[in-house]
Structure 1
């Protein structure tokens, strides 16, 4: 892993899971990690229930916009984490690929999004410990 690893989160619409994961990683790791997110078929806007669920924990993603998955984004990332995007994500040697099985918040209310948000946070904390642990000493 380089001094500043880069992570790409991919889901179909880039409107829920990948947006929450990117926001958690940015929030918890700060500038120790470069963060990207994208979707294989991006939505027009981020899911409002996802925006509200993240706002409840003090993270504002209201201005985020879904982005289309590009080969360049994958090539520029050290770790690629997919969340139900199927086979749409290109695979390159030397990258770390993880597939996180998470419920899809699409069409769900805030109450249903909260447990997904919290599970993503736990996974992000584990990811940070693996790829960008805090410097000690």
Structure 2
């Protein structure tokens, strides 16, 4: 009996400092190795959004070692599912890939309370995604 490799999910937003980092952290945490997770940005920031780091810490997920990464065509090609979060036309599209666009507020410049709301919206979607990918 051969086992299928874990599906790979790539989360993409412009700066890879907020939404995509929260999504990657939540998916990695909840999927517990059943899904491979990556994130990237079309114009990566210098560092993660501090309010995002704090909001994730509150739910027991440490993303302090993560760094914003540049989106590459190789990363998109390697992914089974590409989830964009407001990167507009800058995200490369390849035929045959599963794409989703999650419309979520950008946490840049927002306070912790607003970032918590975005985190919770992402967590709900991530849980649904895990159910779909591991069914």
TM-score with structure 2 setting the length = 0.95
Inter-partner Cα distance in structure 1 for 2:71 and 2:26? 20
Q: Find the residue that maps to 1:122 and give its secondary structure.
A: helix
Query: 1:71-82, aligned counterparts within 5 Å?
Result: 71-82=73-84
Alpha-carbon shift at residue 89 of structure 1 (Å) = 1.1
Structure 1: gaps (5+ residues): none
Aligned length: 132
In structure 2, which of residues 62, 65, 68 is the aligned counterpart of residue 66 of structure 1? 68
Alpha-carbon shift at residue 30 of structure 1 (Å) = 1.2
Inter-partner Cα distance in structure 1 for 2:5 and 2:48? 31
1:18 matched to 2:20? The reply is: yes
Inter-partner Cα distance in structure 2 for 1:94 and 1:112? 35
In structure 2, which of residues 44, 49, 52 is the aligned counterpart of residue 50 of structure 1? 52
Deviating beyond 2 angstroms after TM superposition, the runs of 4 or more aligned structure 1 residues are none
1:110 matched to 2:112? The reply is: yes
Deviations 1:77-108 (A, max 9, x none): 00000000011111111110000000100011
Q: CA RMSD in A?
A: 0.8
Inter-partner Cα distance in structure 2 for 1:118 and 1:112? 10
Deviations 1:57-95 (A, max 9, x none): 000011110000000000000000000001111111111
2:85 matched to which residue of 1? Answer: 83
Q: Find the residue that maps to 1:80 and give its secondary structure.
A: strand
Q: Find the residue that maps to 1:87 and give its secondary structure.
A: helix
2:127 matched to which residue of 1? Answer: 125
